[in-house]
Structure 1
Amino acid sequence: MKVKQALTGLAVILALAPVLPQASLAANVPEGTKLAENQTFTFWLLDAIKSMDPQLNTDVEGSDVLRSLFEGLYNEDGEGKLVPAVATSYDLSDDKKTYTFHLRDTAKWSDGKPVTAGDFVYAWRRLADPATASEYAWYMQLMQVKNAADVIAGKMAPDQLGVTALDDHTLEVTIDTPLPYFPQMLVHTSTFPVRQDVIEEYGDNWTQPEHMVGNGAYTLTKHILGERVEMDKSDTYWDAEHTVITHLTALTINDVNQGLTRYLAGELDKVDMPAGQYPRMEKEYPDQALSTPYSCSYAYLMNLGPKGPEALKDVRVRRALSYAMNRDVIVNNVLQGGQKPAYNWTHWATAGFKMPEIDYAGWSQQERMEKAKELLKEAGYGPDHPLKLTLNYNTSEDHRKIAIAAQQFYKAVGVDLTLNNMEWKVHTDKMQSGDYEMARYAWCGDYNEPSTYLGLFSSASTQNYPDFHDDAYDAALEDSKTAADPQADYTKAEQILTDKMPIVPIYHYAKVQMLKPDIKGYPTQNVMQTWYAKDLYRVAE
């Protein structure tokens, strides 16, 4: 999932039995805890949320909000393990291709109507339907849902998708290939249910506060685009009894430094930390400054498509741009928050991932710079014919600092890099339309398995913004779906990315943030950094 701000990951293997026990999903308040009278929670957003529609959202921050307004089949606990949400259990067929989910009969929408298996069927068909034009349609294909590829391509009708409501509380899903991690994929917001009658009545306006009907622990009460989102506790949520926080406010603050200032002034309970601030904040506020592993990767994309510059069609140029990136300076001098240099795409700690041998990762930076100059000279660039490129990045002081550093790294090898700042929506629109040369990008895993990263650059992916196509790469990912151990295929695919270099990997994330000490229940052991407001509570000081 796309992430807007500079933030990194350590993986936890999620073990699942076919039938999960029922468990309370809301705040687990220890006996004897004295709760504060004020049970509100205010958190920071870098940019306006592009869409409040679960099937249209593509952003990490959007998902943070949507997990309060809607709920899927499963959630994650504080360690990243699956716990029941709308589904209480499932049965798995002997061939491991058919899942039968049993839904709780107490799950309700915010208007009091029951949540049914048909609501999931409608949402999943809607996601895959070309008419919806969802950037996440490919996720159904990644999940291997039967007929997903043909539905997405318009070759089959959406009602041919392998998802069926056997009755109101029994959902059957058929997949083409056994996927041990399939249940993990169900925490993604694109798989959340939505109400067909509401969408048909209000169309694109159904996500407005006065129209939205959700099934989450909170209801949307206010949404001022680019300013704030407000949510109130839902009385119809199936576990409202254990939901402690009564009101949520998400404030959009484009300046990360201003965000920290407003946090220190008491306006926010949670905020991401600006680059370079962690050492100072940890010293001054040891009970509030956090740096925890985060499964995300930061990179610069290179446009290999028809609208991209001719220079980037040359793999020698792409390799030179990657070699010239001084990752140690970015991590140690700019970010200073526990991030790790990245010479590949898949996060180093993703469950089961086996890193390929990446030659240039073992070189000194001086060796990389010399090789970059050599490759650029071979490609026909030099003092009399400098390579000129433009880098797009979305508004963030952290992104600006990294871009300025990159500009200097590239200048040292004879590349003139022009920096082009824009708001998040414009930035993503330009990537989607192929209207860029190089673009700042970051991806956070949708689930804890290498395919969540590698699938992004397959030919089938609608988020393959570099327009990278490689038969051997696609074949490795296709082979991984049926391999007894897919890790060799993942390693092969990653090696192809390293050889063809459609991206410049820069760093693997750490989630560096400030959190008020009286806020409890926030997960710090989940590498996916998935959090739910309903799990939080504020203690009396």
Structure 2
Amino acid sequence: MTKLFTTTALLAALALPAFAPALAAQPGEGETLAENQDLKFWILDAFKSLDPQLTSSRTDSDMIRQLFEGLLNEDSTGAMVPGVAETWDVSEDGLTYTFHLRDSNWSNGEPVTANDFVYAWRRAVNPETASEYAWFMELMNLVNASEIVKGEKAPEELGVTAVDDKTLEVKLTKPTPYFLKTLSHSTTYPVPQAVIEAEGDAWTQPGKMVGNGAYVLQSHDLGVEAVAVKNDQYWDAEHTIMDEVKFITVNDQNIGLTRYLAGEIDWMNTLPAGRLPQLQQEYPDEAISAPWSCSYAYIFNLSDKGPEELKDARVRQALAYAIDRDIIVDRVLQGGQRPAFNWVHWATEGYTIPEEDWGQWTQAERVEKAKELLAEAGYGPDNPLNLSIQYNTSEDHKKLAIAVQQFWKAIGVNVTLNNYEWKVHIDRLNNQDFEVARYAWCGDYNEASTYLDYFRSGGYNQGKWTNADYDKLLADSATAENPNDLYRQAEEILIDEMALAPVYHYAMAQMIKPDIRGVPLENVMSAWYAKDMYRVAE
């Protein structure tokens, strides 16, 4: 027997009887639409790639989500709702998913078919593509994904099949409780094979890109702005109100805020550190803070290219203990963030974060213990520990790195700060060309494993920490009645060995023009769709 999920059944399960994706952008009672239906959105860094299978950036994904659509989308609370897939069936053993696709088109008028998903998913796992998110397809537990990523099997052997143009069959190696949650991720979006084969790497350029989302890319001036306009071929174009979405790159958050206040930007979703309290007083209808599923940390390079000093867990523990998170959260950031003594964001659905003993100590106790650990490891005034911290260009990252430099100086560690532009920063992380690096992970789906799988052997894991017991707990969680218990055990190992120094859990301190409706503030994933937004007349 299979489990059948239809739109109606899904909505009933969500207890949202009045919600339907096609009506998401309809104005409420008493609201009048503004004549201007354009959205100007701030981004800190230039896009690295607008190719769904090549991106690894949150910024890229925000634009890609407007240009492409996967099998499922997220609603305003983060719940999964139909996208290209109208309905789906799940086999009783949880190993086979069958998706029934709606009638929809590419922006060039060609129909979107199940084969477009097959091509995209095979492309993601194909080693020749060199996708930084190939591991994500392994995480989905697709049949043969791991073997293909390792080059042991051909991409054609991936567990995804087009039964016909409107039916996609997916086979998993084991039941995966979070599988449906992965399907709003950009790596799983369909892409147009004929266009990619004709245009090569240039296929993502304006005028050449063909997508199936609510918007099409009209222009892109790298590092300045990118503009997407309403796609009249989108299956729900009739109910898409916002006409244009403009992504404006401003590398300095203070300048970004100035431009927001001048009316040049409508939505700035990461305010400069320390500015929220004042802005809430001056602009109470615009300054907002909401939980955001991201965690900030300093990761340690434990690869063969990393410094020998960091191979000692006592050194890593000392560095983590010495960071005064209350100063960072309460004095530097002041945006609703919470101190972090673990990796998984506190607001993750169904998960209770482990209570680490050192998280209950006073900061003075943590500093004293840090000094003891460094002395045990052989470091002190006669043999000082010297390290470098790498961070990407941002005034906030710089402030935090300077603060951590001082915290570590207080325990006898000399720190050099190295600043790189975002693309260079990521390339250096991917190549293990760093000692300690600023990093943040934003959940790819709303479950604890999205954080923990980062450190899995073979995961993204740029610091190359590895632990067999950790890997086994994550493997066993796939068939566990309550995977959160195993997740918590795994996270305890992660923090006991201090594969990273957690710093804080994000909140999104932001400014939003008061006439904009539909920003999903209750979605901790902060996945947003301009098609679900509109502006009202003031």
| TM-score interval for Structure 1 and Structure 2 normalised by the shorter chain | over 0.9
Matches within 5 A, 1:251-270: 251-270=248-267
Matches within 5 A, 1:368-407: 368-407=366-405
Q: Which amino acid aligns with 2:7?
A: L
Secondary structure of the 1:102 match is strand
Asked whether 1:51 is paired with 2:40, we answer no
2:421 aligns with one of 420, 423, 432:
423
Aligned to 2:245: 248
Cα distance in 2 for residues equivalent to 1:356 and 1:394: 30
Aligned to 1:20: 7
1:454-485 deviation per Cα after TM superposition (whole angstroms, max 9, x unaligned): 00001121x11111111111111111112121
Asked whether 1:161 is paired with 2:158, we answer yes
Q: Which amino acid aligns with 2:145?
A: A
Aligned to 2:66: 68
Matches within 5 A, 1:41-440: 41-105=39-103, 107-271=104-268, 272-440=270-438
**1:183 Cα deviation from its structure 2 partner:** 1.0
Cα distance in 2 for residues equivalent to 1:94 and 1:416: 58
Aligned to 1:492: 489
CA contact (8 A) 2:384 2:413 kept: yes
**1:30 Cα deviation from its structure 2 partner:** 2.0
CA contact (8 A) 2:340 2:502 kept: yes
Cα distance in 1 for residues equivalent to 2:138 and 2:288: 36
1:499-531 deviation per Cα after TM superposition (whole angstroms, max 9, x unaligned): 111100000000110000011111111111111
CA contact (8 A) 2:145 2:158 kept: yes
CA contact (8 A) 1:52 1:207 kept: yes
Greater CA drift, 376-385 or 432-441 = 376-385
**1:80 Cα deviation from its structure 2 partner:** 1.1
1:400-435 deviation per Cα after TM superposition (whole angstroms, max 9, x unaligned): 111111011001000111111110000000000000
Q: Which amino acid aligns with 2:297?
A: A
Q: Which amino acid aligns with 2:22?
A: S
**1:108 Cα deviation from its structure 2 partner:** 0.5
Secondary structure of the 1:312 match is helix
CA contact (8 A) 2:347 2:524 kept: no
**1:181 Cα deviation from its structure 2 partner:** 2.2
Cα distance in 2 for residues equivalent to 1:27 and 1:108: 21
Aligned to 1:513: 510
* TM-score, normalising length: structure 2: 0.96
1:84-104 deviation per Cα after TM superposition (whole angstroms, max 9, x unaligned): 111001011111111110000
Structure 1: any 5+ residue segments left out of the alignment? 1-15
**1:32 Cα deviation from its structure 2 partner:** 4.5
**1:25 Cα deviation from its structure 2 partner:** 5.8
**1:28 Cα deviation from its structure 2 partner:** 2.4
Runs of 4+ with >4 A deviation: none
Q: Which amino acid aligns with 2:245?
A: L
Identity of aligned residues (%): 59
* TM-score, normalising length: structure 1: 0.95
CA contact (8 A) 1:298 1:441 kept: yes
Secondary structure of the 2:22 match is coil
Q: Which amino acid aligns with 1:77?
A: D
Cα distance in 2 for residues equivalent to 1:292 and 1:25: 24
Q: Which amino acid aligns with 2:400?
A: I
Aligned to 1:443: 441
**1:266 Cα deviation from its structure 2 partner:** 0.5
Cα distance in 2 for residues equivalent to 1:540 and 1:325: 47
1:433-461 deviation per Cα after TM superposition (whole angstroms, max 9, x unaligned): 00000100000111111110000001121
Structure 2: any 5+ residue segments left out of the alignment? 9-19
**1:58 Cα deviation from its structure 2 partner:** 0.8
2:453 aligns with one of 436, 452, 455:
455
Q: Which amino acid aligns with 2:403?
A: A
CA contact (8 A) 1:245 1:534 kept: yes
CA contact (8 A) 1:294 1:527 kept: yes
CA contact (8 A) 2:99 2:168 kept: yes
CA contact (8 A) 1:25 1:83 kept: no
CA contact (8 A) 1:25 1:239 kept: no
Aligned to 1:4: none
Secondary structure of the 1:24 match is helix
